[in-house]
Amino acid sequence: MAVQQHYDDMFEQALNTVNNRFLLSVLLAKRVAQLRKGAEPLVDTQGLATHEEIVYREIVEGKLEWRSTVTAVQAGEIEQDFMGDFDDTE
């Protein structure tokens, strides 16, 4: 149970930095994959047992950079009936 609380605390700290739990999940997954493929950690790993802990620390310490992109829907550039001519009966 203490391990779960530890991860919950790290998640909340990282979430305060990222401000979007879905973006945080994507950042975590992508960075963990990079570490597993041999990428160098950007923080001191002393006392950190898992790749996830390393990534949480990297986020909280501001070592990772990311940028949000504006989607077409947010920008109001999408046609409302873009599927109007779509025929899936074939």
In this predicted structure, what is the pLDDT of residue 2?
56
User: Which tokens is 2 given?
Assistant: 């203490």
d(CA 28, CA 10): 12
- Residue 37 CB neighbour total at 10 angstroms: 7
Q: How confident is the model at residue 87 (pLDDT cuts 50, 70, 90)?
A: low
Question: Of 87 and 25, which is predicted with more confidence?
Answer: 25
In a domain, 86, yes or no: no
How many domains is the chain partitioned into structurally? Answer: 1
**Per residue in 21-80, pLDDT tens?**
888 999 999 999 999 999 999 999 998 889 999 999 999 999 988 776 666 556 555 555
User: Which tokens is 68 given?
Assistant: 């949000």
In a domain, 57, yes or no: yes
Q: What is the CATH number of the domain that holds 64?
A: 3.90.940.10
In a domain, 85, yes or no: no
In a domain, 83, yes or no: no
